[in-house]
Structure formats: C-alpha cells, structure tokens
Structure 1
C-alpha cells in the first residue's frame, strides 16, 4: 500500500507561508554551504564570490541563499530563462546537469560559470537548483582588462549538458581540461556546484513531501506575488517624476560616464542609461544581463530592502541602455573586467533616487572590488596563477559612518593573508586600514586599506590589478567631502596605467592603496566625540 501524501497546506495562511519560506531559505543555504565546503578555491570558500538559488519549472527564481553577490544572483535569475529556451523541460532527464559561461546569457564575463541541475521526482522535473561561481581560470588571457575581444579572454562554453542522465560529458570535460591552466581546481569547483545542487534537491524533495506539495509553482506564485506587490507599493509611494544622476569611472584609457535616469510611473520604475559612454575598446564593457542585475539590486536596497529577492523584485522595473553602449555591449566586445563599471550602477541609482529619498541612500563609495591577479613561475619553476579580492570604503550613510574595507555593492569578502600566502607564492608585508582616506562629513566615509606584497619568484611575473577610483574619487553627499583616490605602486613608482598588466621584477614590492568612501553632510556638523574617537583610533591624523 503506497503512502498517501498529506493534504497541501493553505499557502495564503501567513503562519504556514512563513514556515514554508524559512524552509526554502534553509534549503538554499544548505545548497550554498555544501558548495563552499567542497570548493577547491579560496575565491568561493573564503571570498564568497558565488550565488545559489532555487527555481520553479518556469525558470522563476523563488529563493536565494544569503551568501552571494547581486551580480551573480540576479544575472543567474535571468540566465535560467536562457537555459530553458535551449533545453526545454521535455528534453531533460534525471541526472542531467547544464552549464554555460556565455557572458551575454549569465554573469557578464567568462570566468563566471553557471551550472543548473534539474530536480526530478520520479520522471517529473519539479524544480531547478543553480549556482554561479567565479572559476580559478578559464584559459586565454590572464584575468585583466587588456583584451580587445572576448575571444582573447578564454574558453566560451555555450549552454550544454555537463552531465547527461548521470553520465559525464567526456568530450566537453576533456576540452575544458585542455584549455585552462589549473584544470583540477576548475573542474573541482564545477563538481562542488553540482554537489550543492544535489544537496539542495534532496532537501527540497523532503520539504515538498512533508508539506504535501505536488508542484512548487503554487507556493512560488504566492511568494513572488507578495514580493512584487511590496515592490510596487514602495515605488508607488515615491513622488512621481524623473530623477537623474551621472557618475564617472576612470575607464581603461579614458574616463567613462554612467548616466542614469529613474522615472517613477505609478507603481513602476523605468531606469534608462541613455547618455552613458559608448563601448570601450578594452575589457571594461558590461553586458545587459549584468546591467539589469546591479540596477535591480540598486533599486531594491533603497526602495524595498526588506522583502525577499526573487522573480517578483524584477517585474516592476523596466531597465534600458542604448545598444552598443558601455552598459549594453555587443558581441564580441571584451568584458573580463566588467565589474569595474558594473559596480558603479547602484551608486548611480542612489544618486538619482537620493533626490527623492535622501535618508535611504549613502554617499558614493569605492564601488568595485579590486581584483589582484598574479601569474608566473615560483622559485621552483612551477607555474602558478592566483587571484584575490580586496575592498575600499563605502560611502557614509544618513545616520552612520561608512564601512571600512567593505565591498559594496558586491558583498565579496577579502581573502585572509594566511590563505593567500598558503595558496600562492606571495608574502604579504602589510595589510592595514588607510588613515585619512574616508571623506569628511557629518558622517565620515569608510576607509580604504593598504596591501603590500612581494612574490617569491626567480623571474618576472605578470600582475594585473582590476582597479578604479585612481583618477576620480568617490563623491560625498549633501555637502560631504570626497574619499581619497586609489593608488597602485611598484617599488614606490606608479605605473602609467594601473589597470594595464604589469611585468613585475622578482622581489619588487607591489602596493595597492584602496580608495575611501565619500562623506555625508557638512563636516562642520560632525559630533566632536566622533572626531575625538577617529583621532584616537587612528582613522584620521588631524582633526
């Protein structure tokens, strides 16, 4: 006698819905935890440069793990539609695993690989678990902004089956192995993503059985609908009108303008980037998927930060950027360092919407994380390639100082010195907060940090620093002062272009001084007790 399923609960009951929601969050958090614990790289384990989420059969994101970057999470939500277009439900079987790193379909550059696992109950697909991770290497050029076309930046994997009915796609795996510098780490992380999806799938099926859910869609519709209504209600409470703001990035060899126009129309919001710079000749270009991802995040954290992030958060927004512009680049433009420009988008949104909601936004911050990529041969002649991330200061807020050495908007964590020195032939001589780098104001901008290191090599090695704010400082808000600009030094000398690849002599000291965030409000209004504390803690060297 077969066991009968429990009668499905009433999902409109707020208590039951809250229980179901927390179970879903627990499920995707287990997915992310399994992924991180089995990862082969510090990029995923320590820095948390990943995303994880659960989707219904339609490709709608229902819930995301608390760990993850907006650029990965929101672009992955858009990518699932592409997965289903290429591999409709009727073509999938238990044990299939899908993969792609197409920048125009997923997270904007080749190093971010998205893997999606359909979850079956018997012969019926009931959901998908997907994750996006920054892989240790993808072949081609070392990670930098130097390339002129995406073909130079590494191996492109169209939407394919990495596993089919539980069997590995041996030709694809052989192709990947032959085209990357560290195949064990790359394939190890791919399988960590698969393991995370498998754990998530097991927990989801347990949850569905326990609550008598034949399909995920009815619960998904309730959750997504509530998010959409909350977003629309928050947008509808804004004063109707258009709000504009422009921000300047250093670019690669010339400044880049990001111009945002936010128009409130009833319960919808149109964000348009007309007037932004054209595409760059180098790899700082942004694909539309990534533009939509960080724009959605920038709006949500201001307008309705407390509601869950899922399909419903995207629906009230219309996001446009001119075709061929820096924010909607065409193939085959180079895109490896797309985060340098993409991480400015929430700041542009804040500058615009801050005119309507000044108490909910922060001043401009350092914006993008600084990625330091090193590659060469160690003292024993063995090849190495390694990347680590670090962050400057965030902008000050309406009621608090900015956060020091903290990544906003990405949320990516800095890699501990002990991990860097264990995994790469680097010796970090100094890592500390950078005094006087936060912009002055009623509330001070967050401080940048200084990191200085040498490589243990016998011959020159390549160092690529994906940086910004070395020419254009983070602006303050409502009278606040700008943050300090970033600096790159090699044996005390600034290279002509800090974003360019540098050939570093053995034993040379590479020093990066990350930028600070802008201040909020007039400096004369700062509490004297806070000024005294800043002096005592060494955050500033003068009153």
Structure 2
C-alpha cells in the first residue's frame, strides 16, 4: 500500500503498533543486559520518535527517562545537519550539555530510521550504567563540583557510521569504567533494542506507505494536544505561587500561570547551581512534564503533542538550569524535588486533586568493592522504594517507587546476594510513626545490607531527610528518608548524602525510606481500620493511643 489514507482505523492500528514496538524494544534491551540495575530494576526506557525528534510512542520504564529521548535527538539534530545523518548511523550521548540531559551514568543511544532515502523517524533508548569512570566508584559523587569529576563524557557522537562501528568510541568507553564487562554487555543490549525497533517501524512504513505512517504519527500527536487543551479549559485560569523549604534550608519557588491555551511554569527565582545537586534545563522540563500530565490528563498518550501547551521558564546558572561545567551526579534529587513541589503547589491551590506527599526521593544507594567470593570489583546501584501519600477515600500504597521513577522494581534480595558482595539481612516495612490520618500514608521500607569484606564503599543521595512528606486536610506528615550505618564496634552514623564512606566486614547499612503523608483528620479514622493497622504492623499500640486515642 503506497497511497496516503486518512482512514482512522488505519491510523489507530499504526499508533497502537508504535506503542507495541516501543515495548518490544524495551524487552529486548532488558533481556540482553548484564547489569541488575537494568534487567531487574528496569532503570531504562525506550521510544519511537518523529523525524523532528518529538516522541511518537514510548515503551515501559522510567517516566523521567522517556522525556529525555526527544530532547536527546533534538540535541543531535542541532549538532548534525540532516545531510550528515545517514542510514546505518547510530549516536551515543551521556553528556547533559550535548543532549544527554541527565547525568553521565545514563547513556542515550539513538538511530535514524530511513525508508530508502527518506527519514521517517528515530528509535532511542536510555539506561543507567553502573560505572562510567570519574573520581569515585559508581561515578556519582555528592562532593563533585565539576562534570569533569563525574566520568567519561560522550558528547553526541556516532558510534556507528553508515553501519560501520567507530571502534575508537567503543575503546574509550571500555577503558573508562571499573566494570568493562558489564558496560560492554549493557551497551550491546541497547544496540539490540534499537535494531529491533528500526526493523519493526520499517515493516509499518512498507505495509502502509511512508506518507500514511507519518500522517498517523502527526495525528497521534494532535490527539495528545487536544486532550491536554481540553483538560486546561476545565481549570480556573490564574496565577498560582508556592514555595517550599528544602532539607538544607534553601527555598524553592514556583509560579504557575494557567490559561485555556497554556500551562506556564516560572522557575527563575531559585537558588544558584551548587555541587552535584543540579538539573539541566531540559531535565527540569521533564519533571514539569510529568507533573503536568499527572494533573491534566494522566490517561492520555504521553507523546510530544500532549506537552505543547506546557511552557517552562528558567534562569541559567540556577539549580534548575545548570551551566557548564556544573556537576549533575545527583540531578535526580533536584528533578524529583521540582516534581513534588509542583504537585504540592497544585494540592495547595486545588485541594483534593492530587494525593498527599510521598517519600519523593530516588534514594540512590551505591555500594561496592572487591567481591569476597570472586575478587572482582562490583558496584550495586539501588534506587529504593518508599511510601506514597494518602488521598480521599484511600490509604497510600506501601513500598512503591516514586511517581517520578515510575515503572521500576526493587532488586530481589536473592539476586543482590548472588551478584554482589553483600548479605541482605532484612527487607521490611518502615515501623516508624508518620502519615496518620483519616486515610493513612503508605509505609516506606527498612532494609539491612551486611557487608562481607573490608575496604568496601558506600555512597548515597537522599532528600526528604529533614522535611517529611506533607499531609493534607489535617493528615499528619510522613517520616524521613535516611541511611544509618551500624559499625561492628557499636558506633552509629546517620547519612542523607555521602560519598565513598568506607565500610568493613560485619558493618550493617540500614536503609530507611519515608512513610507517605496522611489525608484527613486522624480522629475520623474508623476503629476497625485502626485495629487492622495494629494487626498488620502498620501501627504500634502506643502510636494508636497517642494519635487516634484508640485503646485495644
């Protein structure tokens, strides 16, 4: 079929096929990867994009990653004129200043799709690599002040040129990591994902014709825009300000301007960039895209069209718009603070629309050293799960990744013990108080890692370590995220951010993630639900008496 058709059934078939192809790309990459952060945690995402780089369809994975891929392709198109993009090319970028968007651990791979000599789109994926060099194992240092300290920079370069591998780039990648076997496996898994996506898209263009395929992509984007605009028209227009104190005492500020045509977010009045806690301008846009979609049309297609009404205003040199050579190792904590601040602002101005605060941190935990059984260097990178906030009519879910981190999983204890040099002594719900209400917040977790060798290391970056998840409507605030290091001599050290802390045999790394905020006055919670919480271990008798006035 070569003639253009605007048959809505054909469009629907193509649009659904794109979603299925993006998912197939995701599965292919996951199954071929070497690192548990990818094949267990699913710290990756995949997308199919239009010729101009707009997202046409997204696969499973981290929502904040999907929003990277359109910006990465557009960064490549800024660097390479279209006459320098050819069939068989493949690009790589991990550099936030060259389309990488996040931090150096996250590698973007992308390929153009040509039907004959016609560019019909792109396939792209992104995954977290456990080590890309830099001054600390795991490449994430809360002490970094420049990006040069964080690892090897790949500034949107061709790793394949017209089908021929650029071996120099491969060699640079392999030599700039403490985990070359794992990096090599993860790299080629990403390449495999792109190749399956390209093949499937070309099956569509050859079955329905290039013009019909491109028209279906454009129609899908227009649908996303129409749905977003319809949601905006249902909101009261106005200017809505909000500010929030952070763990370090800094004040983050946001101004939302809502009209029937635009959702504008002004971030200009915010602290200057500092250390490794910064986000690229594009990364801040992603955080706001997630909040915008959550608030306006969570069920609609997450393509480039649905974000057309969103406007983001930033100031270069601030934490939400870092300028070179600023470091970005813990960019995720800045973006998740912005995502949560936006939701909190909306909850304040539009009560009952979004749940109470969740643990709202990636709680990135990096541990490693010499494996006690093999003698090889290992690095485990673990984002943590925590408690979500309650909302009217519902208790918050327990033990979930944040909405920002999305469709991911924790690494099973059995996998962690088999692959890494740690024992997992305990995985349990957080017993600490916090989050009580008519509907209670979900529980965070308490995990104990026991170190099996001397001279190992621990690095981490947790926010909401001083300012707890927020309650609504009289609901109590949640608890805090932190790590407690229990030494064999009985000493106890508490951390929220730390880099390369030495841990030795028998030391226990105790991870605590927050309970979510409650919703509604605790005095209104029925006795039967309080009794159930007591039976299930969500509540102690002392806390039941103190908060609810309940006596068993």
Scaled to the shorter chain, the TM-score interval is: over 0.9
The equivalent of 1:465 in structure 2 is: 460
SS in 1 for 2:277: coil
TM-score by length of 2: 0.92
Q: How does 1:319-468 map to 2 (within 5 A)?
A: 319-379=312-372, 381-408=375-402, 409-411=404-406, 412-457=408-453, 459-468=454-463
Shift of 1:299: 1.1
The equivalent of 2:243 in structure 1 is: 246
Out of 467, 471, 474, the residue aligned to residue 469 of structure 2 is: 474
8 Å CA contact retained: 1:54, 1:61: yes
SS in 2 for 1:131: strand
Separation (CA, whole Å) in 2 of partners of 1:179 and 1:30: 30
CA gap of 1:516–1:493, structure 2 versus 1, over 3 A, is farther
8 Å CA contact retained: 1:390, 1:415: no
8 Å CA contact retained: 2:291, 2:342: yes
CA deviations 1:28-67 (Å, max 9, x no partner) are 11111111111111111111111110012111111101x1
The equivalent of 1:498 in structure 2 is: 496
Shift of 1:493: 4.7
The equivalent of 1:173 in structure 2 is: 170
Separation (CA, whole Å) in 1 of partners of 2:226 and 2:530: 43
Q: Say how many residue pairs are matched.
A: 531
CA gap of 1:49–1:88, structure 2 versus 1, over 3 A, is same
SS in 2 for 1:79: helix
CA deviations 1:350-371 (Å, max 9, x no partner) are 1222245333201111111212
CA deviations 1:112-134 (Å, max 9, x no partner) are 11000112223333221001111
Shift of 1:217: 2.7
CA gap of 1:437–1:295, structure 2 versus 1, over 3 A, is farther
Residues 486-495 or 321-330, more deviating: 486-495
Shift of 1:215: 5.9
The equivalent of 1:221 in structure 2 is: 218
The equivalent of 1:510 in structure 2 is: 509
Separation (CA, whole Å) in 2 of partners of 1:49 and 1:249: 26
Shift of 1:347: 1.6
CA deviations 1:302-357 (Å, max 9, x no partner) are 11111101111221011122221111111111110111121122221112222453
Matched, 1:75 2:68: yes
The equivalent of 1:43 in structure 2 is: 37
Shift of 1:6: 5.0
Separation (CA, whole Å) in 1 of partners of 2:201 and 2:524: 53
8 Å CA contact retained: 1:70, 1:294: no
Q: Which runs of 4+ in 1 moved over 6 A?
A: none
Matched, 1:486 2:484: no
Matched, 1:306 2:303: no
Q: Runs of 5+ in structure 2 lacking a partner?
A: 545-552
Shift of 1:255: 3.2
Q: How does 1:78-227 map to 2 (within 5 A)?
A: 78-104=71-97, 105-140=99-134, 141-142=136-137, 143-214=140-211, 216-227=213-224
Shift of 1:494: 4.6
Separation (CA, whole Å) in 2 of partners of 1:132 and 1:107: 11
8 Å CA contact retained: 1:344, 1:367: yes
Shift of 1:151: 0.6
Q: Runs of 5+ in structure 1 lacking a partner?
A: none
The equivalent of 1:263 in structure 2 is: 257
8 Å CA contact retained: 1:361, 1:398: no
Residues 480-489 or 241-250, more deviating: 241-250
TM-score by length of 1: 0.94
